[in-house]
Structure 1
Amino acid sequence: MKFTPCVLSLLLSSTASAKPLAHEHHMHKRDVVTVVHTVYANGDLYTPPAETADPAPQTAGINAPYAPAPDTTAAAAAGTSSAAAGAPSSDSSSSSGSGTSGLSFGAAIVYSPYSSSGGCKDANTIASEIAQLSAYDVIRIYGVDCNQVPNILSALASHQKLFAGIFNMGSLSSDLATLKAGVESTSSWDKIFTVSIGNELVNSGQQSASSMVSYTNQGRSILRGYGYNGPVVTVDTFVAYYNNPSLCSGSDYIAANAHPYFDSTCSASDAGSWVQNHISTLSSLCSGKSVIITETGWPSQGNANGAAVPSVSNQQAALSSINSLVKGQSIILSAFNELWKSPGSCGCEQYWGVLD
């Protein structure tokens, strides 16, 4: 079998040194003031200086919209008009079961409640933007600030669900209470696909693997008391999972962020194969647990990283590759460009949006 360079390098890194090639930590909260770039090459760890997270707004680049292809398999199985647009099958409600029941979905995407200046988007803006995401069955968010939970839930179509998140472990209990209030004021737990406890906190060095397992178990216990019986996970990078396999025990399924752009040997057209191979490796590492890649994508602007070159056309190629191979196992970063972020050393942090 002939392997492309990035897939071959992935196989060699997995079998020889067990060190992944690269990963970059993305900001997803306004109050986060650093971007952590973690690059693995020959076992060496590199972390560049911290950067400010709130630059002045910049003009967005022109970016051709991307929408996932319809999930015809799900449509045939469900036999409904919503499934024809790639909607989850009728058994996808996560609140009636436990663990990994109801993980089926067609396409998923990350959404941010922050404006270009870093302020909160109002309810009308959120409703207008969520309406543009009708091709996506799952919308992922990271926190409970900006009234985002009720605003987004109110805007979701009948076939859509919310991948909710708690960002700060220091306010875990109070933020879960805020999540509960947002859900119960506008909808029900049936609309929650998953709740994540933390995002890349082991990769960034803010928490240990054992503490995140503990926080995830604590969060699950609170959520069960609230009547939510769906999946509870902690999200971290594939790097963090490879270096801390104990993370596998905390989540109902493996939720890992993995971006092929940060592998300098991977071209845009090979992005899907790259993600697919990491899914396989993570499942093997975690005793066969189901895996969802909770962030992946390709920037439309930024600095070249070897064979990984940001551009509108390469973003299209990468997303087409990802969609063809791991749609239903991955969440695209992100719906719109996020100009409230720092550009980062890659010059790319603001430009992962697929609809701008």
Structure 2
Amino acid sequence: MKGAIVVAATAAMAGSANAVNHGHAHKLFAHKRNADLCSTWVTTIWEETVLTLTPTQAPEPSTTPAVASSNSPVTTSSAAPVAPTSTVKLPVPTPEPITYATPGTYTVPATTVTVSETTTVCGASSTHVVPGTHTVGGVTTVVETATTITCPVATATTNNGVVTSIITSTEYVCPSAGTYTVAPITTTVTKETDIHFPIPTSYAPGTYTIPQQVVTVTETDYVYYCPYTSSTGLPTSSVVPTVIPVTLSPTQPIEAPKPTTTAPASQSEAPKSEASKSSDSPKPTTSSTPSTSKPPSGGFNGSFGNKGNHYGITYTPYYGESGDCKDASQVKKDLQEIKNEGFNVIRVYGTDCNALETVGPACEELGIRIILGVFVKGASCSYESKEIKDQVDAIANWKYLGLVDLMVIGNEVLMQGLCQPTDLASLITTAKSKWSGYSGPFTIAETLNIWERSDVTSALCGVVDYTGANIHPYFNSQVTPATAGEFVSGQLDILDTVCSGKKAINLECGWPTEGSSNGAAVPGKVEQLTALKSIREACGDRTVFFSFENDMWKQPGSCGCEQSWGCKEFFKGLL
């Protein structure tokens, strides 16, 4: 295997090994296309190089104590904020978990790591699961023909309560074309808990840095992941076997869990993350109906910035824990944080929680543009519906319409069966007639499979300026965090062809930090870092990231993931 193969003791896994009652069934080869298993492997090459880990003494606490990375649990204390008691440094830029025992404000010092050769290590990953059997980890690859692959495999051994993760290089024979997962770990748990497991992670030669960061902690035993986000090398968050895989195509994914949460009383329902479904056909039929909409006049071209940027993020003025409405001062504080993280655009789903009154003035002061929506949750898309009429009329009289780059009418209303395509088109036409102060573009937010329906394209291509879609790679079981960007970019390419001459825009896209594994799509904090980095680099200029913070007031849903899409910590790490 090219490059170095490293073994690292993952101390963070030791605590979970004792806390969870489970058994590991290491399925060394799982074929995802059908029930057949690829059970023929040629040879296994065990390579171990021990990496010496030298703990260093943590600094004494101060008003903003400097904190180094810790992989060990920290005892909770009622004293002033204290830094972790030990530091374990790996000579590779793995996202570094830091455990803070007590609330307080901490400074994470700048760190630089130089990698001289391609290096594969055991990265530590985790995911929050509900009772049941879950498959995690492993390396997923796609092969076009019968072939032999050489693949690094992460395994774990326990000695005196210490879990050591080891990378081994193994050759496997794939008897036919298909999608394979090498060495996944199947775990059964009897209660809701966190599963920790090793994953192979490769880093190319280069210099990787973590800039100095200030972290405000409001809870005890809080774990913060510090990603290395800039480098002269090209890190990869998962290992690709030494065989050229088939490019991921948007084959039919699994149905996304349908959330059952309703929003807090007296508020419009907040948006839920749904599956980014795709069609079996890679080339959807383009509507023959000529476009009758005027060209966009708001100066918006479907892009939030140059390739790799992250200019859009969804924002709802709810407190994440309770779902209560935020006041103007808290909204301004949130938007200042969003601006500081490099965003120039926010997506607001509707007018509830006094969004127009609180978001408008703050965005004007901070120089943030807005994608504004009319949220439809009832059984009608008619303007005469009181809930819709109130929103449309309020927007018509809003003095901050000059801040709006794009109007989005509805959020997955066709997918939910709340109205028919012709009714939604009629609502868009009515909104245009009511909003004389706005001359910019319009769209809707649906999934790809909805856009591919002929009744949708015939009714809506003529009244929208962009094909707006919500694309969530987590809900496709073949997509790993590392290939999330490739998947989203492929979906956008298809959406670009749906309405002739009209460009697609990704209005909602993220990766959960908790929940059940969906095939190769594994939730987790490290996985979110990997997925968002992949999406940002592949198509960040056309993506609105979901979402600013976690929504703990929602129900977790059947996927166990609906509460945990908050991604502001990732973007803080880019500063």
Q: 2:372 aligns with which of 142, 149, 164?
A: 164
Count of aligned pairs between the two proteins: 291
Where does residue 335 of structure 1 map in the other structure? 548
Change (3 A) 1:108 1:270: same
Task: Show CA shifts across 1:290-312 (max 9, x none).
Answer: 11110011001111100001101
Pairwise CA distance, 1:264: 0.5
Where does residue 425 of structure 2 map in the other structure? 213
- Could you tell which deviates more after superposition, 335-344 or 306-315? 335-344
Where does residue 239 of structure 1 map in the other structure? 449
Amino acid at match of 1:114: Y
- Give secondary structure in 2 for the equivalent of 1:98: coil
Matches within 5 A, 1:124-203: 124-134=329-339, 135-156=342-363, 157-168=365-376, 169=381, 170=385, 171-181=387-397, 183-184=398-399, 188-203=400-415
Listed as ranges, the gaps of 5+ residues in structure 2 are: 1-140, 144-178, 181-244, 281-294, 306-310, 570-575
Change (3 A) 1:192 1:37: closer
TM-score, normalisation: structure 1? 0.73
- Give secondary structure in 1 for the equivalent of 2:389: helix
Pairwise CA distance, 1:220: 1.7
Pairwise CA distance, 1:25: 6.2
Where does residue 323 of structure 1 map in the other structure? 536
Change (3 A) 1:39 1:314: closer
Counterpart check, 1:98 vs 2:296: yes
Within 2, Cα distance between the matches of 1:98 and 1:34? 26
Within 2, Cα distance between the matches of 1:151 and 1:212? 28
Within 2, Cα distance between the matches of 1:37 and 1:292? 16
Where does residue 11 of structure 1 map in the other structure? 249
Where does residue 314 of structure 2 map in the other structure? 110
Pairwise CA distance, 1:24: 5.6
Amino acid at match of 1:231: P
Q: What is the alpha-carbon root mean square deviation over aligned residues?
A: 3.0
Pairwise CA distance, 1:98: 3.1
Where does residue 231 of structure 2 map in the other structure? none
Within 2, Cα distance between the matches of 1:235 and 1:205? 14
Within 2, Cα distance between the matches of 1:146 and 1:206? 22
Change (3 A) 1:112 1:309: same
Listed as ranges, the gaps of 5+ residues in structure 1 are: 14-18, 44-96
Amino acid at match of 2:433: S
Change (3 A) 1:35 1:296: closer
Change (3 A) 1:259 1:33: closer
Within 1, Cα distance between the matches of 2:273 and 2:538? 29
> Which of structures 1 and 2 has the larger relative contact order (alpha carbons within 8 angstroms, sep 6+)?
1
Change (3 A) 1:150 1:3: farther
TM-score, normalisation: structure 2? 0.47
Counterpart check, 1:313 vs 2:539: no
Kindly indicate whether the alpha-carbon contact (under 8 Å) linking 2:323 and 2:551 is maintained by their aligned counterparts in 1. no
Change (3 A) 1:312 1:217: same
Pairwise CA distance, 1:138: 0.7
- Could you tell which deviates more after superposition, 227-236 or 162-171? 162-171
Larger strand proportion, structure 1 or 2?
2
Within 2, Cα distance between the matches of 1:12 and 1:36? 19
Within 2, Cα distance between the matches of 1:40 and 1:139? 24
Larger helix proportion, structure 1 or 2?
1
Within 2, Cα distance between the matches of 1:249 and 1:256? 17
Counterpart check, 1:302 vs 2:515: yes
Counterpart check, 1:291 vs 2:504: yes
